[in-house]
Amino acid sequence: MDLTTLFTVLLAASGLTVLADRAIFRPRRQRGAPAANANAHANAIPSANANANAGGNANAIVPEPLIVQYARSFFPVILIVLLIRAFVFEPFHIPSASMMPGLVDGDFIFVNKFSYGLRLPVLNTKIFPIGEPQRGDVIVFRLPSNPSTHFIKRLIGLPGDRVVVRDNKVTINGTPVALKSDGVYSGGYGFTGADLALEQLGAEPHEVMFARDRYATDFEAVVPAGHYFFMGDNRNDSEDGRFPMVGFVPEKNLVGRAVRIWMNWQLPGWPDWRRIGSKIR
């Protein structure tokens, strides 16, 4: 169960608790209050004031059970968190090296959930279209073979595109994707010395990596209608659309576009403050 589903369940549970108490249990407590008061004063000397107080207790405020108090307090908090996660931004953690050099192990990122339309939480049904995925976007999606698992990759092929990958060079619909050498990687993480290059898929170039001690994986296919083809920026160390476990990703599995790094913390160790706020290109 992912966090969005968990928050949905908690929201429903707290809301039903408050509604059930208001409709069923609170009236019962209020009806029982005068009887309890009468029993408490069964041996008392009757008086006019006592009778008046006994009648007035029918409208007295009866303390709520602790579970109802918690449900009433948590409901608006859970609702706000769920709305933000479902429709605005959702945080994710990068646990692998497949998107290096741009994203590294330990990055925590924000994903824009409304980039490609608003979806109902849990059901993932699009209720309001806003935009379309663009070639070159860095996107979080649910793995087709296991929708509970989230992957992050770069969008390479749109529906109907013929994508060819040969020796780490990408061709889309017969046009080679521009690739310009950009030195070697020196940032550690086990990839020091890997070749770097600037790749031009959309309006803005991005950096990709080619590890020297790993094999290039070739690929050729036409992207089916309603599906997308993704690859990692660490081209020789990424399990992506070139492999059967990922394959082509249906539109309904798209979660959103990765936009910013809000923290980097790889344990054991200290946060890398230099990466905070970095734009994801």
Tell me: the pLDDT tens digits for 128-155?
Answer: 788 899 999 999 999 999 998 999 999 9
Average pLDDT, the chain: 86
pLDDT on residue 33: 65
Q: Give the bridge partners for 112, in sequence order.
A: 89, 257
- Residue 264: Cβ-neighbour burial (10 angstroms; 0-12, 13-18, 19+): buried
Say yes or no: 15 and 138 in one domain: no
> In terms of domains, do 129 and 268 share one?
yes
Residues 109 and 229 in one domain: yes
Q: Does residue 195 sit in the same domain as residue 73? A: no
> Do 127 and 216 share a structural domain?
yes
Radius of gyration of the chain (CA): 29
Report yes or no on 76 lying in a domain.
yes
Confidence of residue 60 (pLDDT cuts 50, 70, 90): low
Is residue 228 one of the residues assigned to a domain? Answer: yes
| Last residue of one domain, picked from the residues 64, 86, 108 | 86
| Same domain flag for 98 and 213 | yes
For 86-125, what is each residue's pLDDT tens digit?
778 888 999 889 999 999 989 999 999 888 988 877 777 7
User: How much of the chain exceeds pLDDT 70, in percent?
Assistant: 89
Host domain of residue 54: 3-86
Task: Point out the domain boundary residue: 66, 86, 106.
Answer: 86
- On the question of pLDDT at 55 being above 70, the answer is no
CATH code at position 163: 2.10.109.10
Domain check: are 202 and 219 in the same one? yes
- Of 14, 98, 115, 238, the catalytic one is 98
pLDDT digits (tens, 9 = 90+) for 253-273: 999 999 999 999 887 788 888
Secondary structure (DSSP) of 210-256 = E-TTS----EEEEPPTTEEEEE-SBTTS--STTSTTT-SEEGGGEEE
pLDDT (0 to 100) of residue 269: 81
Average of pLDDT values for 25-46? 62
Q: Say how far apart CA 111 and CA 255 lie, in whole Å.
A: 8
Residue 114 has a pLDDT of 87
Indicate whether 125 and 18 sit together in one domain.
no
**Same domain for 99 and 57?**
no
Beta strand 254-264 with 138-143: parallel, antiparallel or unpaired?
Answer: antiparallel
How much is the pLDDT for 5?
78
Half-sphere exposure of 102 (CA within 13 A, CB side): 26
**136-140, 185-189, 249-253: least confidently modelled range:** 185-189
Confidence band, pLDDT 50/70/90 cuts, at residue 199: very high
Q: Are residues 52 and 143 in the same domain?
A: no
Active site residue 126: no
Q: Based on the domain organization, do 115 and 82 belong to the same domain?
A: no
Which of 14, 115, 153, 238 does the annotation list as catalytic?
153
Give yes or no: 279 in active site.
Answer: no
Q: Can you read off the two tokens belonging to residue 112?
A: 């824009």
Instruction: Classify the phi-psi angles of 10: left when phi > 0, otherwise alpha if psi is within -120 to 50, otherwise beta.
Output: alpha
Tell me the C-alpha distance between 133 and 140, whole Å.
11
What is the per-residue pLDDT for 92?
Answer: 92
**Tens digits of residue pLDDT in 154-171:** 999 999 999 999 999 999
Do both 129 and 27 map to the same domain? no
